[in-house]
A and B are shown apart, each in its own frame.
Chain A
Amino acid sequence: MRYAFSPEQQAFGESATDLFARHCSPGAQRLSWMDDSGRDPSLWRGVVDLGAPAILVSEEYDGIAGTECDLLPVLEEAGRQAVPDALLESVFVGPFAIVACGSEDQRRRWLPAIASGESRVTIALSDGGLAPDAHVSDLIVLARDGQLRVHQAGEVALERVHVEDPSRRLFQVSPRTEGELLPSSGDLRDQVVARELVGSAAVLNGIASHLVSATVAYAKERQQFGRLIGSFQSVKHLLADAFSKVELATTAARAATWRVAAADPEGLASARLARICAVEAEFVANKVALQVHGGIGFTFEHDLQLWLKRGKALEQSHGGRHRVARTAGLDAVACAQRAPQNEEDD
């Protein structure tokens, strides 16, 4: 057993850290809020140079043939630095949908271009769902009647849906053609959903981790009543509580990702559990971060809002908070019925 990332995975994560720091600083993001695109092409080129979109693509299609776990450090870091690009969709869920559900012909046509970064992909997994970064994507995967269809950028009309987080770019996509059905997407939909759940959990855990560490840093410099506010138990305990939840949620997401990647029969159920922990931990971190920052954190000038708003968006995105919890509850009932019952129980 080994819970830690491998040295290669760690190095991959560190490269992503450097890349994001160069391109997605809060200052750079603020500049991008003004323009419609809001995307820095050089960031995407950097992501491609890292090999991220090629990780889940097999060597046969010019990919790297890595695993879902390899992408975790990048997704966590994307959250930690509030990367505006929809990397979850473009390097993880989107490519996976085509890898898993595409026909041989479709894979041959699309995967090499995805792996090389020539084609950028996005995906919306619920019917009528909004597709992030559709305006910079070449392939847009949409759900209809429980199946997935791939649309070329030129065959859709995009309408931007404005959202609280000025860095996010969400679009209502109206296809002008039928698109191409991914033939196995009806049968394998759960596998795609499982990746969305663990991947979005990883991003949320990164966001929450930053919210806690940025707030700890602030509590170590802000003074009131002649003392650092981080010396008050009321503040220390809020932070310890949030930290402990984020720690467990991070471990849960890593473990669930490993199960999903290993085709464990419990993979999808574990992915839901990991997603719930990530949402609930981020919820607490979000609350604590603003509370401890106080008034300064509520100003438009303060960068905390990048993580506060992104966090609130991702709590509800990718299937909604309550639906996932309810399905996990049904899983738990089914699991309890299968579990052996001790005779001593009353």
Chain B
Amino acid sequence: MTQPVLDVQGLRVEFPTRHGTLTAVDDISLTIGRGEILGVVGESGAGKSMTGMAILGLLEPPGRIAAGKILLSGDRIDTLTEQQLQAVRGRRIGAIFQDPLTSLNPLFKVGDQLVETIRLHTPMTRAQARRRAIELMQEVGIPAVEERIDNYPHQFSGGMRQRIVIALALCAEPELIIADEPTTALDVSIQAQITALLKRLCRERGTAVMLVTHDMGVIAETADRVAVMYAGRLAELGTVEDVVRRPQHPYTVGLMGSIPSLRRDESELQMIPGAMPRLNSIPSGCAFNPRCAQAGPKCSRDIPRIHGEGAACWLALEGATA
């Protein structure tokens, strides 16, 4: 097998608090290959953004990586110093966040922000960098680039701003892009434009993309493989066809069922009773067991884990609960 661009092994993120240590990300293992989009999906508080932040080395203290390894094309990046990380972030890993307005500096023209980023990562002259900025803006689909390059962020619409953020992430031609809810702040028609753009860039450049979102629709449309997270753990990992159409984990089944269908008529939506546990009260065994209709005695005793594709559920792992 060729080396994956991103290889996360047993990642664990902890937050020490006065009331004990909270585990926000618990034993996550996943890989992303060249030109692949991995969707990471889950509800608020599932630990999906935290996983992305840990990979970027942007955990807010006191949050810390307590266990596991993160390898970028074979190089460990979780043990780097802040200074070494600076050379990785932006150059080898690009980031796209939810709100394009807070990712851009309102006081600088977008062209200057692009030029600055390009020159930080590559030995280009100002003129070369400006030409490169124009190319990038064209590539992400901004019309009339020559006029708009000297505009300020507030002069762009939300969708156009997110395109500029994507252009910024592409400046140094990174191997990996982490996109955290890149379409959540956008309207549906713009959302479709942005996901199509991400897909095209990933295909043409061979960039690996980790797409973090709560929206199963965006995942179904964009991702090649999906990781479903629940209470900081991986619930299920598989190809998008498998996870969306033949989910194995009862949580994924419930999640898919709770989305109103566009084809079937349902008088009632399927519901998962209750809510995801808070980090300070994660039940023993499988974190989903109190909400699971099929839970057996083993489910409240032992934690089911996966380190590859499959469902972290004793029913799926052993066929029955012991």
- Verify that A and B bind, or say they do not: no
B residues contacting A by CB (< 8 A) are: none
Interface on A for B, CB 8 Å cutoff? none
